[in-house]
DNA sequence: CGCATATTCAACCGCTTGGTTAAATTCAAC
DNA sequence: GTTGAATTTAACCAAGCGGTTGAATATGCG
């Protein structure tokens, strides 16, 4: 479905098992069998999970006899953080502008206040 | 399928149309019809997309007559960045340690280095 | 009330996904 | 060359997803 890498990365990490695999690979490279051990699914299922991570560019593999050690490619995370930061910052800026506007018209609060109900917490 | 919020958030953002909706909401609140306009899918499809974003906690809605303005809840992004930062840092630390090891044994590079079969369990 | 607008609900469809079992492949080691 | 371990491929299945059309539900306006 998703053809761009960011979609593939997000989709890959949307699965808790795959996130756990990534977490374990962050602690060190591992083989498919090693990775499969803790979960109560077949090793074939884990092999598929790893393929998804590999297609997303999150994991690379070398060869060691029959083994195919998996290695985490952490740089791909930047794709996500860049996307996130961009729109979070945008949203925060807008929020700040809204605050400014509200502050500007402090006294006369007769207008309906935009999104209604509350300005809520602005904390990060 | 995914029952935890992080899974829901990542899964929601794995769709390019939904990411675009989020991007537009970062610039300001909007109604379902407004959001649906640029895409060549039905408004019902967009309504479903918004529901997915809402279930993930990324979007909240107020009421304005028949309209249901959508508002971006940017704090949820923290869920992702926290997860990402944790494991990226871990991977980078490991990388730094590996560098140190390689530096340590500089002269004798006859061993096959790289991912080496030595890493694995124990972890931290 | 009757009508138009905005949104959702329901049923359906084709494709993908995560899982399975069974068979094939790759490579070391005997 | 046979055995055995690690991994992938193939075929299949149930469930979920993104899309559709069509009907229902709110709500403001004459």
Among B residues 29-48, those touching chain A with beta carbons less than 8 Å apart: 29
pLDDT of residue B91: 78
Percent of chain B with pLDDT over 90: 59
Provide CB contacts within 8 A for B5, sequence distance 6+: B56, B57, B76, B79
Whole-number average pLDDT of chain A: 83
Query: A71 pairs with which residues across the strands?
Result: A60
> Can you spell out the DSSP letters for A27-88?
T--B-HHHHHTTSSS-HHHHHHHHHHHHHTTSEEE--BTTB--EEE-GGGHHHHHHHHHHHH
Q: How far is B31 from chain A (nearest CA, A)?
A: 11
Mean pLDDT value of segment B25-45: 95
- Whether residues B87 and A26 touch (CB distance < 8 A) is answered with yes
Statement: residue A35 has pLDDT above 70: yes
Q: Could you tell me if B15 and B56 are in contact, meaning their C-beta atoms sit under 8 angstroms apart?
A: no
For chain B, say whether A105 makes contact (Cβ under 8 Å): no
- Whether residues A26 and B88 touch (CB distance < 8 A) is answered with yes
In CATH terms, B5-73 corresponds, of 3.40.50.12280, 2.40.160.10, 1.10.10.10, 3.40.50.150, to: 1.10.10.10
Contacts of A79-86 with C-beta under 8 Å, sequence gap 24+, read: A79/A5, A79/A6, A79/A9, A80/A6, A80/A9, A80/A10, A80/B80, A80/B84, A81/B81, A81/B84, A81/B85, A83/A6, A83/B19, A84/B77, A84/B80, A84/B81, A85/B81
Q: Is the CB of A45 under 7 A from strand C?
A: yes
Which member of A16, A29, A117 has the closest CB to residue B4?
A: A16
Q: How far is A15 from chain B (nearest CA, A)?
A: 6
Statement: residue B114 has pLDDT above 80: no
Comparing B123 with B30, which gets the higher pLDDT? B30
Q: Could you tell me if A69 and A31 are in contact, meaning their C-beta atoms sit under 8 angstroms apart?
A: yes
Q: Is B85 helix (H, G, I), strand (E, B) or coil?
A: helix
Q: Is the CB of A3 under 7 A from strand C?
A: no
Statement: residue A28 has pLDDT above 50: yes
How many Cβ atoms are within 10 Å of B36's Cβ, its own excluded? 20
Question: In angstroms, how far is D27 C1' from A68 CA?
Answer: 61
Provide CB contacts within 8 A for B21, sequence distance 6+: B35, B46, B49, B50, B53, B70
pLDDT of residue B1: 57
Q: Where are the domains of chain A?
A: 5-74
Please name the residue that has the structure tokens 């998996």: A70
Q: Could you tell me if A95 and A122 are in contact, meaning their C-beta atoms sit under 8 angstroms apart?
A: yes
Chosen for mutation from B115, B116, B122, B124 (greatest number of chain A CBs closer than 10 Å) is B115
Query: A60 pairs with which residues across the strands?
Result: A71
Q: Is the CB of A44 under 7 A from strand C?
A: yes
In CATH terms, A5-74 corresponds, of 1.10.10.10, 3.40.640.10, 3.20.20.70, 1.10.533.10, to: 1.10.10.10
Statement: residue A73 has pLDDT above 60: yes
Query: Which strand D bases fall within 7 angstroms of a protein CB?
Result: 4-10, 15-23, 26-28
Residues of B in contact with A114 (CB under 8 A): 29
């Amino acid at each position: 479905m998703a053809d761009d890498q960011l979609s593939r990365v997000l989709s890959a990490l949307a699965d808790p098992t795959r996130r756990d695999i990534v977490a374990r690979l962050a602690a060190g490279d591992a083989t498919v069998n090693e990775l499969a051990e803790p979960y109560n699914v077949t090793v074939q299922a884990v092999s598929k999970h790893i393929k998804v991570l590999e297609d997303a560019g999150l994991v690379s593999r070398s060869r060691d006899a029959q083994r195919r050690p998996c290695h985490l490619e952490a740089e791909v995370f930047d794709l996500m953080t860049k996307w996130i930061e961009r729109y979070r910052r945008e949203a925060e800026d807008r929020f700040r502008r809204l605050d400014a506007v509200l502050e500007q018209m402090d006294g006369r609060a007769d207008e309906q206040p935009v999104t209604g109900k509350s300005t809520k917490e602005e904390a990060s």
